[in-house]
Amino acid sequence: MSKLRVAVLGAKGRIGSAAVKAVEDAEDMELVAALGRHDSLDVLTSSGAQVAVELTTPDSVMTNLEYCVANGIHAVVGTTGWSEERLATLDGWLKTSPSTGVLIAPNFSIGAVLTMKFAQIAAPYFESVEVVELHHPHKVDAPSGTAQRTAQLIAEARRAAGSAPMPDATATALEGARGADVEGVPVHAIRLRGLLAHQEVLLGGEGETLTVRHDSLHHSSFMPGVLLGVRRVVDAPGLTFGLEHFLDLG
């Protein structure tokens, strides 16, 4: 069986360098290109890459994906910064290249994907739900892509269940004290030396609380998800948002 030809963009970064090694170590894959910020995207076509793993920055990801889609190169994307507008633009590009697949995974770790799922299931059963994400201090975006997606899933589940607005008597507050408002769900971002990527979903009801916590302690936690994404995206044309769809948790 021929090996999947894989390129990594952002190859010198924290997660990108781990992805380079994971692809090199995967028996069914061949690393054909490892691109940094100043490398030409034409290396993707000249190397014959079938799948690009996009792990750069929110300011680079759209240009890279436009090139990939225009050249029929599937993409597995871990980079954050996804708005409705960006997703619509990407969807438009994909319509012009209908056999190309793009997976956007707010988080590649199985524990984080399950945290989102558990939060979504639990959210309608509690009066209050808040999300706290905790990351290393080099992270450029806040709140994390994972926390934003978690909050959206919580909000969606509560809307579908007809949940009442969450109780909150705050009348005065310092700006930011109640976190960012993501579709009505408060999201708090901590940046702390020593951390990698962590999240707590706090749920509160009459006389009880439930906390769902996940900790990524090493970038290796993301690699099985990256490799699964590469294997599955070649047979998944169009846009897939969330690794849960490739784990049959969707």
Ligand X SMILES: O=C(O)C1=N[C@H](C(=O)O)CCC1
* 119 contributes a contact to ligand NAD by CB under 6 A: no
* 135 contributes a contact to ligand X by CB under 6 A: yes
**x/- track of binding to ligand NAD for residues 134-173 (CB under 6 A):** -----------x----------------------------
Could you give the CA distance from residue 213 to residue 150 in angstroms, rounded to a whole number?
A: 12
* 16 contributes a contact to ligand NAD by CB under 6 A: yes
95 belongs to the catalytic site = no
Tell me the window of 13-21, 26-34, 65-73, 89-97 that interacts with ligand NAD (CB under 6 A): 13-21
Pick 145 or 179: Cβ nearer ligand NAD = 145
* Cα 191 to Cα 59, 66, 119, distances in angstroms: 21, 32, 22
* 106 contributes a contact to ligand X by CB under 6 A: yes
Tell me the window of 58-66, 86-94, 117-125, 141-149 that interacts with ligand X (CB under 6 A): 141-149
219 belongs to the catalytic site = no
Is residue 13 annotated as involved in ligand binding? yes
The sheet with strand 4-9 has its strands ordered as 29-35, 4-9, 51-54, 74-77, 101-104, 238-241
**x/- track of binding to ligand X for residues 194-223 (CB under 6 A):** ---x--------------------------
Q: Which residues contact 6 (CB under 8 A, 6 or more apart)?
A: 23, 29, 30, 31, 32, 49, 50, 51, 52, 53, 230
Before 143, cis peptide (omega within 30)?
Answer: yes
Tell me the window of 75-83, 114-122, 155-163, 173-181 that interacts with ligand NAD (CB under 6 A): 75-83
Residue with tokens 């939060």: 119
| For the chain, counts of helices (H) and of strands (E) | 7, 11
Between helix 223-233 and helix 14-25 the angle, nearest 10°, is 60
Active site residues: 135, 139
Binding site feature residues for NAD(+): 10-15, 78-80, 105-108
